[in-house]
Amino acid sequence: MQIISSPSQIQKTCLRLKKKGRRIALVPTMGYLHDGHLSLVRLAKKHADFVMATIFVNPKQFGKNEDLSRYPRDEKGDLKKLQQAGADLVFMPKLTDMYPEDFQTYVDVEMVTQTLCGASRPGHFRGVATVVLKLFNLTQPDVAIFGKKDFQQLVTIQRMVRDLNLPIRVIGAPIVREKDGLAMSSRNVHLNAEERQDASAIRRGLIKIQDVARRKNLTASQVRSLFYKILPAKKSIQVDYVSCVDRRTLEFLPKIKKTHTLIAVAVFFGKTRLIDNVEV
């Protein structure tokens, strides 16, 4: 497995691979890898003959009071896991190479970033879209894989690809979970034992909503109260949002529709903000 950190070198390497007719799949990550990330690498291998992962903690997608400084890192462990999962190349650029001091160009995807995490994290998706377009330009992928855990991110990138006519197929991968249903996340490492136990209520709440929605027409506010009932009532647990949206446009829905509804949640356990979702 090759490791490259220079942007110009990765671009040269990828252009050369393309000339030779290789089909490139890209899996962008911020590192501290778990089985969710590795499932994307495995899926990528089914769609391409050259699989590239990137590791870059992108400061442009973190707000001022967010957890950039404590975002977990484990370069050595990540490289080992990527090699075992069968990645061919890892691109891990330096911050100053991605964003020199005079950097001033950004990508703004408008409508689909207005709700959910976009509403509570202003500027987050501008940072995401900008770094992903840079990574696309540097690595020239035919296919790019994103997890459905970050559903709004997936939709934002799909929108950007369509709007800017990028010749890339964006594939959404299923959410990989711990045994108790908690969605795997690099941020789970910050949870203390009690928070970790409480956090499994997110999945239980979403399953409950899915179950009831099969039998009853639920309004958005009924969905919310079902979720609150399952979540332990503790001061340290704060719901950021529980929302029903159309999974194509991410517009808020007053009630669950027969098709295309996504229930998405974000919940703080202490200082750690976790997200999850379910398609109903």
- Give the active site residues: 37
| SS3 at position 78 | helix
Question: Tokens standing for 105?
Answer: 């160009």
- Alpha-carbon distance of 253 to 220, in angstroms, equals 7
Query: Shortest Cβ distance from residue 4 to ligand AMP (Å)?
Result: 19
Question: Tokens standing for 30?
Answer: 């911020």
Nearest residue to the partner ligand AMP, using Cβ: 147
- Alpha-carbon distance of 213 to 188, in angstroms, equals 29
Nearer to ligand AMP, 91 or 256 (CB): 91
- Neighbour-count burial for 188-219, b at 16+ CB within 10 Å, e otherwise: bebbeeebbebbebbbebbebbeeebeeeebe
The contact set with ligand AMP (CB under 6 A) reads: 29-30, 36-37, 39-40, 146-147, 149-150, 173, 175-176, 183-186
- Alpha-carbon distance of 96 to 215, in angstroms, equals 54
- Alpha-carbon distance of 252 to 22, in angstroms, equals 41
- Alpha-carbon distance of 44 to 41, in angstroms, equals 5
- Alpha-carbon distance of 165 to 107, in angstroms, equals 14
Nearer to ligand AMP, 209 or 275 (CB): 275
In DSSP notation, 79-133 reads: HHHHHHHT-SEEE---HHHHS-TT--------GGGSSHHHHHSTTHHHHHHHHHH
Nearer to ligand AMP, 149 or 203 (CB): 149
Query: Shortest Cβ distance from residue 30 to ligand AMP (Å)?
Result: 4
Query: Shortest Cβ distance from residue 29 to ligand AMP (Å)?
Result: 4
Nearer to ligand AMP, 160 or 183 (CB): 183
> Exposed, middle or buried by CB within 10 Å (0-12, 13-18, 19+), for 46?
exposed
Nearer to ligand AMP, 36 or 93 (CB): 36
Query: Shortest Cβ distance from residue 12 to ligand AMP (Å)?
Result: 25
Query: Shortest Cβ distance from residue 41 to ligand AMP (Å)?
Result: 10
